[in-house]
Each structure stands twice: as C-alpha cells, then as structure tokens.
C-alpha cells in the first residue's frame, strides 16, 4: 500500500496537459526509481489504481503472455496504463492518507488485523482524522 500512496502523491504533484494524446511525459523508469519501486510493480499498481477508479488515463487491455506481448486485445484485463491524473475518488483517498502520522497509524492498525483493502484503509484513516479533529477542536464528527 505504500507504493499506492506514493504513486498517488506523485501523480498529484504533476500538472498534466490533458489535451495531449501521448504519455504526458510520464517516464516510468524515472518514476519507479524515484519511488524506489521495480518497473513491473509500478505498472501493476498503476493498473490496479486505474481499475479502482483512483486514477484516470489510457488503458491497454487484453490477455498478456509472460513475455509481455498481448495475446488477445478483446479482453477486459488491463495490462498497461498511461496515467493522466487522479480522479475525484483518487483525491478523496489521498486526502485521507496524506498526513504522514495518520498514514503511519493507519498502516499499523491495518497490519495488526492482517488483511485489508483500500476501503478499509480509507475508513481507518478517516477514523484517525476524526479523532485528531476532536482532540484539536473538541468537535465530535
């Protein structure tokens, strides 16, 4: 999940020209190196973020051979995404995990139960944010 958060933060920091029809200057090798990730892990997580509707972009679909060549392009399987920007849901998720301390608490709580998904992470983070708001303002949300 650390890579998911890092990708979202990276995409948010870009100012894409949405009229362009190319890769928006998205240099996968540089991004992977900057995030400390393998290129395959970056590609896989971009596809997951696209399927979860947290990012928008162009997706190449089909079944792939282990060599990476497409075998069938009529499949719904996403195997390559050119990211454009965060979706509304992507911004919402990122806002819930942006704060480093909230993110640390969220990861700790999620790992203590052993199994979790994006929705669980978001709800945990929102719970910690609500507690922080109450501690600072006295307002119970």
Q: Given pLDDT bands bounded at 50, 70 and 90, which one contains residue 51?
A: confident
* pLDDT surpasses 80 at 73: no
Q: How many domains does the chain have?
A: 2
User: Terminus-to-terminus CA distance in the chain, angstroms?
Assistant: 27
Residue 103, token pair as written in the block: 């993110």
Residues 22 and 63 in one domain: yes
Residues 74 and 133 in one domain: no
Task: Supply the pLDDT for residue 140.
Answer: 87
Question: Residue range 62-90: average pLDDT?
Answer: 69
Asked if the structure places residue 93 within a domain, the reply is: no
Task: Supply the pLDDT for residue 84.
Answer: 87
Question: Domain of 26?
Answer: 2-86
DSSP for residue 86: E
């Amino acid at each position: 999940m650390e890579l998911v958060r890092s990708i979202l933060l990276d995409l948010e920091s870009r100012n894409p020209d949405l009229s362009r029809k190319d890769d928006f200057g998205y240099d996968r090798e540089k991004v992977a190196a900057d995030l400390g990730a393998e290129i395959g892990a970056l590609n896989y997580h971009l596809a997951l973020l696209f399927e979860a509707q947290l990012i928008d972009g162009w997706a190449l679909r089909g079944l792939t051979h282990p060599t990476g060549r497409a075998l069938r392009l009529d499949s719904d399987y996403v195997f390559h995404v050119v990211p454009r920007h965060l979706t509304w849901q992507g911004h919402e998720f990122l806002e819930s995990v942006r704060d480093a301390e909230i993110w640390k608490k969220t990861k700790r709580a999620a790992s203590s139960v052993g199994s979790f998904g994006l929705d669980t992470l978001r709800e945990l983070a929102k719970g910690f944010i609500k507690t922080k708001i109450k501690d600072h303002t006295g307002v119970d949300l």
